[in-house]
């Protein structure tokens, strides 16, 4: 396990170095638009997944606008969902201060939310509505935290209201990790107070796993509660159908 993890760690280091170089080259070409940031994030996440040897399968058509709501299992979700489609993530403010990953998130056009501040929530909601004008979807994890995969946690509907207020389509997305040998999905989930680096090392050493992402159909909902309830049920059903 340690040899596999070390080999993947080296590959990850090279991939991250190339990601930085590509963004530096992008900036040299002139002003960086939000769309180009999302495309850079997509290509970067694909590069990192290749370096890690993580495979994924996409089922259904990724949306090209509006809001996407997905279940949340850990940091791998960011890489996999961004690789599947250009998108802007809504993330907790703490991520912005993380070494490298916070910088990468800002470079990719992530919208940061201070979950303790009503003013921040209102500002983020307004920013999301502005992003709906672009041909790139905004992606939200309405559980508000990660789960161990045993069930989808209840959805918080506050930011979903951005889409219902704007009449924007909402697409449900379900993600599942599949590990060889019948190992439980929770072994790859980043949950509770687990430290990042030990979990990353564990993930790097896990043999034979891939991810499946399934997208539903975009729908317009009358209000945020109806949207939250419907997408929660849809994601729970899709996850039950995934391998």
Statement: residue 1 has pLDDT above 80: no
Statement: residue 107 has pLDDT above 80: yes
CA nearest neighbour of 53 among 162, 241, 211: 211
Who has greater pLDDT, 94 or 131? 131
Statement: residue 166 has pLDDT above 60: yes
DSSP state letters, 47-103? HHHHHHT-EEEEESPPPSSSEEEE---STHHHHHHHHHS--EEEEEGGGGGSTTHHH
The percent of residues above 70 in pLDDT, for the chain, comes to 100
Return the pLDDT at 64. Answer: 95
pTM: 0.92
Highest mean pLDDT among 31-35, 90-94, 142-146, 169-173: 169-173
Return the pLDDT at 220. Answer: 98
Please, which pLDDT band fits residue 160 given cuts at 50, 70 and 90? very high
Statement: residue 136 has pLDDT above 60: yes
Return the pLDDT at 66. Answer: 98
* 229 burial type by CB count under 10 A (0-12 exposed, 13-18 middle, 19+ buried): middle
| Residue range 32-84, pLDDT digits in tens | 899 999 999 999 999 999 888 889 999 999 999 999 999 999 999 999 999 99
Mean per-residue pLDDT of the chain: 91
Q: Which domains does the chain have, with CATH numbers?
A: 2-241 (3.40.1130)
Statement: residue 99 has pLDDT above 80: no
Return the pLDDT at 154. Answer: 95
What span, in angstroms and rounded, lies between the C-alpha atoms of 95 and 76?
14
Statement: residue 12 has pLDDT above 60: yes
Helix %, strand %, coil % for the chain, to 5? Answer: 50, 15, 35
Strands 138-140, 67-70: pairing kind: parallel
Q: Which two tokens stand for residue 138?
A: 């905004």
Mean pLDDT over 137-160 rounds to 94
Please, which pLDDT band fits residue 196 given cuts at 50, 70 and 90? confident
Statement: residue 179 has pLDDT above 60: yes
Return the pLDDT at 234. Answer: 98
Q: Compute φ and ψ for 215, nearest 5 degrees.
A: -100, 140
Please, which pLDDT band fits residue 15 given cuts at 50, 70 and 90? confident
Measured over the CA atoms of residue 94, residue 67, residue 242 and residue 42, the dihedral's sign is negative
Angle at alpha carbon of residue 242, lines to 221 and 145, rounded to 5°: 60
What span, in angstroms and rounded, lies between the C-alpha atoms of 190 and 135?
31
Statement: residue 20 has pLDDT above 90: no
Q: Give how far the C-alpha of residue 24 lies from the chain's centroid of Cα atoms, to the nearest Å.
A: 23
């Amino acid at each position: 396990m340690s040899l596999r993890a070390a080999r993947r760690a080296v590959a990850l280091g090279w991939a991250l170095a190339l990601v930085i170089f590509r963004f530096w080259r992008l900036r040299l070409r002139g002003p960086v638009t939000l769309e180009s940031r999302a495309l850079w994030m997509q290509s970067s996440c694909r590069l990192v997944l290749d370096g890690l040897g993580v495979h994924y399968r996409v089922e259904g058509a990724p949306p090209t606008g509006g809001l996407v709501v997905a279940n949340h299992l850990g940091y791998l979700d960011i890489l996999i969902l961004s690789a599947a489609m250009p998108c802007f993530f809504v993330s907790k403010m703490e991520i912005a201060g993380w070494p490298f990953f916070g910088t990468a998130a800002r470079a990719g056009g992530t919208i940061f939310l201070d979950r303790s501040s009503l003013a921040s929530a209102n500002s983020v909601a307004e920013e999301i509505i502005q992003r709906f004008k672009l041909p790139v979807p905004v992606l939200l994890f309405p559980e508000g935290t990660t789960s161990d995969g045993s069930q989808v946690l209840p959805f918080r509907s506050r930011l979903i209201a951005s889409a219902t207020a704007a009449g924007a389509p909402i697409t449900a997305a379900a993600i599942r990790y599949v590990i060889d040998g019948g190992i439980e999905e929770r072994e790859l989930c980043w949950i509770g107070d687990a430290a990042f680096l030990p979990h990353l090392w564990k993930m790097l050493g896990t043999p034979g796993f891939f991810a499946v992402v399934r997208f539903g159909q975009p729908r317009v909902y009358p209000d945020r509660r109806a949207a939250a309830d419907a997408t929660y049920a849809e994601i729970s059903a899709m996850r039950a159908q995934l391998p």
